[in-house]
Structure 1
Amino acid sequence: MLSLRKTTARQREIIEVVFRNGWDYMRILLTGGKADEPKLPTPAVLRNILVDLGPVYIKLGQLLSTRPDLLPASYIDALSTLQAQVPPAPWVEIEATLQQEVKQPLDRVFTSIDPIPVATGSIGQTHKAILADGRQVALKIRRPGINKIVTQDITLIRTLADLVSRTEFGKTYDVVSLAEEFSTALKAEMDFTIEGNYTEELRKNLAKSKWFDPAKLIVPEIYWELTTPTLMVLEWLDGKSLLSADLVLPGAEQLSSIQRREITSLLFRAFIQQFYIDGFFHADPHPGNIFYLTDGRVALIDCGMMGRLDPLTQQILTEMLLAVVDLDAQRCAQLTIELADSSQPVDLARLESDFTRILRKYFNLNLAEINFSQILYEVLQVARSNKLRLPSNLGLYSKAIANLEGVARSFDPEVNLFDEARPLLIDLFRRQLLGNNPLQLLLRTGLDLRSFTLQSPRQIGVILQRLTSETLKWNISIRELQPLRQSINDSANRLSFSIVVGSLIIGAAIISSNARTTELSLLSSVLFGVASFLGLWLVLSILRSGRLRG
C-alpha cells in the first residue's frame, strides 16, 4: 500500500488543496495522523475541493452524486452539478495522438478535421471531421497525458479508502468497494472501445419497440474500422441540445406544445423500456446528452456512463413504482429489504415508520404534483438512515430518472412521469408474470412440476425414516436468542454470587458465636468485611445496570 507519509508531488498538491479549503478530517489522514469518525465538509466545500483537484476527482464527485444511499440530499444536489471545465488540449498534441491511432497519413483518411473541438471533457475532447468517402464523423480523442494522472489519483483514492475503512463509517458503507467501483468505472471510460460497445448495445436495443416509434429516436453508429481504446469515431449528428431545440428547427421559430409533449413522451417511453425491459440504460441523460436533430429526430449521445439491472431487480423496481403510486409504505419497506444485503439486520417497524413519514406528505396530492425522482431519492435516503446497503446500480438508476425528469420538466413543464408510465404498467406486469414467451414459461413450469412430483415422495420418505429412527436434526438460528442467553447467564452469575455472599455472612456469624480464641474472632471479622464488600459491589452493579425494577 502506498504510504501517505511519503508524499509525491501529486500528494503535496492534494494536501495543499485540502488545507486551502479547510477539511480538517482529511488533513489529519493525509498527514498520517489518527482520526475518528469521518467528518464531511459542507457540500459547497466538498464540491470546491473536487473541482480544484481536477478531472479525476470531478469524476469521483459525479459517481458520488449517484449514491443517495450514501450521502444526504444536500450533497447529492451539490455534486450533481459537477461538470469538468477543462481547457482543450493543444491541437498539435491531439493531431499527434490521432496520427498514432490511425496509422495512416491523415489526409488519406480524412478530407478535413476541425482543429477547434466541439466539446471538451475530463477524459477526452471531440472534433468534427469528414472521411474520405464523404461521411461526417465525430472524433472523440483521449487527452494526452491523462493516463498518468488517472493512475496516480486512483492509487491515492484506494489508499484513502483503506484508511477510512478502519472506521465504523467505512465498514458500514464499504468504502473500499466504492473506491474499486470508481476505479473500474474510470478505467472503463478511459477505454473508448468499451464506450463504443455500450453505444452499439443501446442502439440495438432501441432499434425495436412496441411502445414508441424507433425511427424517431437515434443512437449514433460507431465506425469500428477506425475506433481504438484512445480514439472513437462515430456518426456525426447535426443538431443541438434538447433545451435549445427551437434553434435547430428549419423554418420554424418555436416548437408547439403538442410537439414538446410528443418528444417528452418518446423519451419517457424509451427510458422505461431501458429500465424495466432491456435492463441496460443510459445513466447520464442530462441536457447535453439529449439532442434534437434538424430532421426532427431525438438522439441519445455519450454512452460512457451506463447502468444495468438484473431481472429480479427490474421486477422489484417495477413493484416499487406501483407501491409509490399507491403510497403504500409497508410495501415500500418490504421491497427495500428485498433489494438490500440480506445479511444485514433490519428494524422493520422503524423502516415502515420512516416510509410512512416521507409518503404522508404526498397523500393529498394528485399525480401531476408529485416529483417521482424526489420520492425515489427519499426512498434511498431512508435506506441509508436505516444502514441498509443497496446495490450501487440503484444510484445510477435514480440519477438517470432524476436527470430525465429534470430535462423533461424544463422542456415541457406540464409533463408527469406517472402519467407517462401508467399505460405501460399493465404491460410491464404482464411481461413479468408471463414473460416474453408464455408457451415457453408454461413448458418450463410443467417441467418444474414434473420434477417436483418425482422427487417429493423420495424426500418425504427420507424425512419419515429419519423421524422414526430419531436421527432427524433441526438447524435453527434465532437472532434474538443470543441476548436472551446472555441475560440468563448474567442472572445466574448474580444468583451464584449472592449465594456465596450469603454463605460468607452465615459462616462468619457461626464462627463469631462460637469464637473461643482471638484468631477465630479475627477470621469472623475478615469474613464479615469481605461479605460486606462483595454485597455492596453486587448492589452497585445491579443499580448501574438499570434493571433493579426489571
Structure 2
Amino acid sequence: MLELSRQELDDYVPEVLRGSRKWRKTIWRALDTYLIEPLATGFRFLHLVIIFVPVICTVPVMWIGARRPDRDNERTGTLWWYGFLVASMERAGAAFIKLGQWAASRTDIFPTEMCSIMSALHSDAPAHSLKVTKQTIEKAFGRKFEDIFEEFHEKPLGVGAIAQVYKAKLKPDLAGSEDDASTEPQTLRERAFKRVDPLLKSTPHRVPSSYVAIKVLHPKIERMVRRDLRIMGAFASIINAIPTMEWLSFPDEVTQFGEMMRLQLDLRIESANLMIFRRNFRNRSTAWFPYPHGQYTTRQVLVEEYATGIPLEHFLQNGGGVFQKEIADEGLDAFLHMLLIDNFIHADLHPGNIMVRFYKPEPFDVGMNLTTLKGRPKANPNTSKDVTEDVLERLRPHRQEKDAWTRTLAQIDKEGYRPQLIFIDTGLVTQLNEENRKNFLDLFKSIAEFDGYKAGHLMTERCRQPDAVIDKEVFALKMQHLVLGVKSQTFALGNIKIGDILNEVLSMVRGHHVRLEGDFVNVVLSILLLEGIGRSLDPDLDLFSG
C-alpha cells in the first residue's frame, strides 16, 4: 500500500481544498447565471408591471381637459399624466429615477413639459444601514473603521438613487497632500504663464482639507440596475417594432443610457474625472474641483475633499449683489474652456452641483500696491486665505432676507473678499468625438453668422438617421426664419439669448424627427443650463463674447 509522507500530505490537502473551492465557485456562477438571475429578473418584471400598468391604462386621460398656454399648450389631463408617470418612476427605483432624469435632458425627443416635470424626479430610496457603510469603507481603506477617522458624521449628507454621502475627518496619517500634477506647470508655455499669471489673476492657494466627503454605493445596486436594463432593453425592442416609432431608435437610447449608468456605478471613474478637471484647471482661477483621494477610492467608495462653499442656489434666490457679474462671467469662462479648449465637459451642471467659495487675497509685496483694472488687489497664491466659513456665518442669518443678504455681500466685497466657483459631482462628463465636435462648431458658426438655412441643412445631413427626417427643406427654412427673426429683433449678436434659440431648435428637431447624437444634445443642454444660471445672475450675459 502506497503511503504519503507528512510533507506530501501537507502539500496535497491545500491543493484539494483549492480545487474544491474552485468547483464550488464554478457551480455557484452557473446557478447564479442560469437560475437565480433569470428568476430575480422575472420577479422584478412582475413588480414593474404592477407599477406601470396603471400608467399605461390612464394614457387616454392625456386627451382630456383644457389647454394651458402657459404650459406649452398642453392639456390639463396630459400634465396630470406626466406627474403620474414621474411618481411611478420614483417608486420603481434607482434605474428608473436615473432614466427619468436622463429623459428630462432629451427635449429633442420628448415634449418640453414632460421634460420639465421629469427634471423634478428625486430619489425616495431609504439610506442603507451604517453597518453596511462601515464594512464597505473598511474594505476600501484596508483597516479598522476606528483607525480611519477622527470624526464621522453618521447621518448622511444626502441619499441618492445609487449612493449616499457622508462627511468625515481623516486621521492625520491618511490625509493627502495637494497633488503635484494638478498644480505644477508641465510645459514651457505653462511655466511662462505661471510667471506672468500673478500680474493678471492668480489661483488662490489651497491646502486640501482633512475633512472628506465619502460616497458609498447602495449594496446590490449593480445587480438591480443590471436587471432593470435588461427589462428596458426588451421593451425598447418592442416599441421599436411599432410603425413610425423606429426613428426614436429606443434600443440605441437604452444602450446609451445603460453605458451612462455603468459609469456612475464605478466611483473610480468620478475620481479619475476629478483628476482630469484639476489638471485642466491648474492654471485657471475661474473654478476649483475637490481633491480626490484616489488611493482609497474603489468601485463602491469615493473619497474626496469636502467642498466648503455656498450653494449657487442661494445666489439665484437672493441675488449675487456686487458679485453677480463676476460669478456669471467666471462660470461662462470655465464652461467655454471645458467646451472649446479641453473637450472635457461637466455634463451635470445644474445649480445643485455648483458652489461658491470665498478667499481673501493679499497685495503683492513688490514696493507698490498692484491692483486690477477695477481697482481691486490681486490674489497672491501663497498667502490667499480661504474664508468661506466666515462668509457662510455672516450670510446664513439672511437667507430669507434679500436686502440684508445684498448689504452683507457689499460689505464682504469692501473687505476685499473674492469669489471662486466649485464644481462637484463629476461622475458624468461629455467628450465630443472629432465628427460631432466639427458638427457642433459648424452649427454654432452658422448661427453666429445668421445663416439659419445652412444650419438647418447641416443638422439634417449630419444627424443619426437622415432618411427618417420629415421635410428637410421645411426644417431648413424654419431654421432660417428663426435666426432671421432673432437678427431683426436684436441687430446685435451680444443681445441674442442663445438659450431661446436652442429651445426652439430642439422643439423643431422633435417635430421633424431629426435624431441628434446623445453627447451633442448633452452639450446643448449644458449651454441651456449655463445660460439660464448666468442670466439669472447677470441679465446682460453674452455667451458669444466668451
Question: TM-score higher than 0.5 here?
Answer: yes
1:332 aligns with 2:452: no
Paired residue type of 2:43: A
Deviations 1:451-493 (A, max 9, x none): xxxxxxxxxxxxxxxxxxxxxxxxxxxxxxxxxxxxxxxxxxx
| Partner residue of 2:52 out of 14, 18, 38 | 18
Distance 1:301 1:359, change over 3 A: same
Distance 1:25 1:162, change over 3 A: farther
Matches within 5 A, 1:22-171: 22-23=56-57, 42-133=81-172, 135-171=210-246
Paired residue type of 2:346: H
- How many residues are matched? 397
Distance 1:371 1:45, change over 3 A: farther
SS at match of 1:349: helix
SS at match of 1:277: helix
- Residue of structure 2 in register with 1:244 after alignment: 314
Distance 1:375 1:6, change over 3 A: same
1:352 aligns with 2:422: no
Q: How far apart, CA to CA, are the structure 1 residues paired with 2:139 and 2:497?
A: 49
Q: How far apart, CA to CA, are the structure 2 residues paired with 1:177 and 1:40?
A: 28
Indicate if the aligned counterparts of 2:156 and 2:164 stay in contact, CA closer than 8 A. yes
CA shift at 1:42, angstroms? 4.1
SS at match of 1:232: strand
1:233 aligns with 2:303: yes
- Residue of structure 1 in register with 2:340 after alignment: 276
Q: How far apart, CA to CA, are the structure 2 residues paired with 1:343 and 1:363?
A: 28
Q: How far apart, CA to CA, are the structure 2 residues paired with 1:238 and 1:126?
A: 15
Q: How far apart, CA to CA, are the structure 1 residues paired with 2:486 and 2:88?
A: 37
- Residue of structure 2 in register with 1:464 after alignment: none
Q: How far apart, CA to CA, are the structure 1 residues paired with 2:38 and 2:271?
A: 37
Distance 1:338 1:125, change over 3 A: same
| Partner residue of 2:329 out of 265, 284, 287 | 265
CA shift at 1:84, angstroms? 2.4
CA shift at 1:102, angstroms? 2.3
Indicate if the aligned counterparts of 1:355 and 1:379 stay in contact, CA closer than 8 A. yes
Paired residue type of 2:110: L
| Partner residue of 1:184 out of 259, 262, 275 | 259
Paired residue type of 1:313: N
- Structure with larger RCO (C-alpha < 8 A, sep 6+): 2
Matches within 5 A, 1:214-229: 214-229=284-299
- Residue of structure 1 in register with 2:530 after alignment: 404
Identity %: 22
Q: How far apart, CA to CA, are the structure 2 residues paired with 1:369 and 1:83?
A: 35
Paired residue type of 1:171: E
Gaps of 5+ in 1: 27-38, 209-213, 248-252, 425-550
Deviations 1:134-190 (A, max 9, x none): 521111111123223212211111111121121234421211111111111111100
Indicate if the aligned counterparts of 1:264 and 1:415 stay in contact, CA closer than 8 A. no
Deviations 1:298-345 (A, max 9, x none): 111001121111244333323323433444321211321343137526
Deviations 1:251-279 (A, max 9, x none): xx98533x211111111111112122221
Distance 1:45 1:394, change over 3 A: farther
Paired residue type of 1:226: Y
Distance 1:338 1:300, change over 3 A: farther
Indicate if the aligned counterparts of 2:310 and 2:357 stay in contact, CA closer than 8 A. yes
SS at match of 1:362: helix
| Partner residue of 1:362 out of 486, 501, 511 | 486
Q: How far apart, CA to CA, are the structure 1 residues paired with 2:487 and 2:154?
A: 56
Distance 1:268 1:165, change over 3 A: same
Paired residue type of 1:75: M
Q: How far apart, CA to CA, are the structure 1 residues paired with 2:319 and 2:463?
A: 47
- Which 4+ residue blocks in structure 1 deviate beyond 6 angstroms? 1-7
Q: How far apart, CA to CA, are the structure 2 residues paired with 1:149 and 1:199?
A: 27
Distance 1:246 1:285, change over 3 A: closer
**Which has the larger Rg?**
1
Indicate if the aligned counterparts of 1:284 and 1:403 stay in contact, CA closer than 8 A. no
Q: How far apart, CA to CA, are the structure 1 residues paired with 2:331 and 2:501?
A: 20
- Residue of structure 2 in register with 1:433 after alignment: none
1:414 aligns with 2:530: no
Gaps of 5+ in 2: 1-33, 61-77, 176-209, 360-418
CA RMSD of aligned residues (A): 3.1
Q: How far apart, CA to CA, are the structure 1 residues paired with 2:465 and 2:225?
A: 35
SS at match of 1:365: helix
Indicate if the aligned counterparts of 2:357 and 2:420 stay in contact, CA closer than 8 A. yes
Indicate if the aligned counterparts of 2:486 and 2:496 stay in contact, CA closer than 8 A. yes
